[in-house]
Amino acid sequence: MRALTLNAESKTASVQEVAKPQPGPGEVLIKVHSVALNPVDALYVFNPIGATGRVVGADFSGTVVESTTPAIKTGQRVAGLVQGANSLNDRPGAFAEYAVSPADLVWAVPDEMTLDQAAAISLCALTAAQALFFRLGLPSPFEWEGKKPKTDTFPAELTFFVYGASTSVGMYAAQLLQFGCEANGISLRLIGTASKKHFDMLKAAPYGYDTLIDYRNPDWAEQVRSAAGADGVGYGIDCISEGETVKKVLGALRQGGKLAVVRSLEGGAWSPEGVDLDSLMYGAVWEGLGVDIAYENLTVPATEKTRSFAVAFYRWLSGAAGFEANPVRLMPGGLDRIVPDGFALLGSGSMDDRAKGRAEEWMRPVSGEKLVYRV
């Protein structure tokens, strides 16, 4: 099969012919239709930790062509994520003509959703769900390990703040909060920061923000506190988690508030100076795969709890009527254009500097949408 594989020595990736993977017990083989890009895919190609030859990429959608379990039938449309070259562990990624996944870690794509849309969901939606329900313990629309967080500890109205409301994680967090609060009879007041050009989209369904603040405004934290009222904001998620953002977002919460971050302190993405670390919740999305995660100087051990949560979340996604994919930008060129086009848009530097000098319409800066390629 054709696959996008890592060249660790040259710090790039290219399309190569590799052996088609074979499913083991409890696994399915998927003919990949679409893949979605995440910044982490580009990060670990340009700064590789995996070995040359690894298939890169995480998010995929496609059709099951071989199944070793009666729970999943051939011909079924599914989506999911695999780790690929984002770890030292030797597991193939998704940017290929075929991918293998545990059968209980894919979810059934509903008829009303396209495979292009489905590819954009798994990694970022699981990241948001882990942060909200598993780590912060907020009201959930589904059970795992036979239980949900106790909702009697929450007020009748939950006020929540999303820094980076137009990011993929932020948009899925808003949807999941709406589902969780509705399922548990709790009113939600949702406050977020974003660029003004996204305000209309974020105030509408399925996101439903009550208050949006321009993140470029130097007084945004004060505006968040003002919008929250006397009780303040008890919970939040920092979807950027870079530089001084963690400190500033914590400053927008009330005393004793809890904040989920999407990047680890060990990675050096954000400054711990002046940060109450006891207020923070972090975990790698890869924990949901139920395997040890190995980075250069860090090993995150597998836990059954995180895997069982991911299984329950994907089971819920399979039947979650009304859950929508975030906006998708369908990119041309398939696997061959992921590195020169997609990774150029997701690379380092400011948003305006990425892919500078490229005039193609599809190479405009990425904001409020997900890059998707058809394989």
Q: Which residue has the tokens 């007084």?
A: 219
Mean per-residue pLDDT, 189-215? 97
User: What is the predicted pLDDT for the residue at 17?
Assistant: 98
pLDDT class of 87 with cuts at 50, 70, 90 = confident
3-state helix, strand, coil in the chain (%, to 5): 30, 25, 45
Instruction: Provide the percentage of residues in the chain whose pLDDT is more than 90.
Output: 83
pLDDT of 341-350, one tens digit each? 999 999 765 5
Tell me the pLDDT tens digit for each residue of 307-323.
Answer: 999 999 999 999 999 99
Q: Which two tokens stand for residue 269?
A: 């993405």
Three-class secondary structure of residue 370 per DSSP: strand
Longest CA pairwise span in the chain (Å): 61
Tokens of 17: 């012919």
Q: Strands 27-36 and 98-102: what pairing?
A: antiparallel
User: In whole angstroms, what is the distance from residue 149 CA to residue 142 CA?
Assistant: 10
Express each pLDDT in 28-76 by its tens digit.
999 999 999 999 999 999 999 989 999 999 999 999 999 999 999 999 9
Given a cut of 70, is residue 161 above it in pLDDT? Answer: yes
Residue 241: pLDDT over 60: yes
Percent of the chain with pLDDT strictly greater than 70? 98
Secondary structure (DSSP) of 42-85 = HHHHHS--S-TTPBP--EEEEEEEEESSTTS-TT-EEEEE--TT
Domain positions in the chain are 2-121+325-374, 124-289
**What confidence tier does 351 reach under pLDDT thresholds 50, 70, 90?**
low
pLDDT of residue 298: 79
Give 331's pLDDT tier (boundaries 50, 70, 90): very high
Q: Residue 151 above 80 pLDDT?
A: no
Q: Which of 103-117, 136-150, 224-238, 322-336 has the lowest mean pLDDT?
A: 136-150
Do the Cβ atoms of 188 and 218 come closer than 8 Å?
no
Nearest-CA neighbor of 253 among 273, 271, 283, 228?
228
Q: What is the pLDDT of residue 190?
A: 98
The pLDDT, as a whole number, for residue 350 is 52
| Distance (Å, whole) CA 301 – CA 293 | 6
- To the question of domain 124-289 being in CATH 3.90.180.10, the answer is yes
* Average pLDDT over every residue of 159-171: 97
pLDDT digits (tens, 9 = 90+) for 94-141: 999 999 999 999 999 999 999 999 999 999 999 999 999 999 999 999
In this predicted structure, what is the pLDDT of residue 349?
A: 55
Task: Supply the mean pLDDT for the chain.
Answer: 93
Give residue 206's pLDDT: 96
Domain 2-121+325-374: give its CATH architecture.
Alpha-Beta Complex (3.90)
pLDDT at 356 over 80: no
Q: Each residue of 260-291: pLDDT tens digit?
A: 999 988 778 898 999 999 999 998 899 999 98
DSSP 8-state assignment for residue 252: H
Q: What is the CA radius of gyration of the chain?
A: 20
Q: Which pLDDT band, with edges at 50, 70 and 90, does 154 fall under?
A: confident
180 phi and psi angles, rounded to 5 deg: -65, -45
Q: Quick check: 352 pLDDT over 70?
A: no
pTM: 0.96
Cβ-based neighbour number of residue 324 at 10 Å: 16
Q: Does pLDDT of 339 surpass 60?
A: yes
pLDDT confidence of residue 275: 93
Asked if the model's pLDDT at residue 153 lies above 90, the reply is no
Indicate the Cα dihedral angle 175, 178, 180, 181, nearest 10°. Answer: 170
163-174 mean pLDDT: 98
The residue among 315 and 300 whose pLDDT is bigger is 315
Compute the distance between CA of residue 200 and CA of residue 355 in angstroms, rounded to an integer. Answer: 27
pLDDT at residue 295 in the model: 79
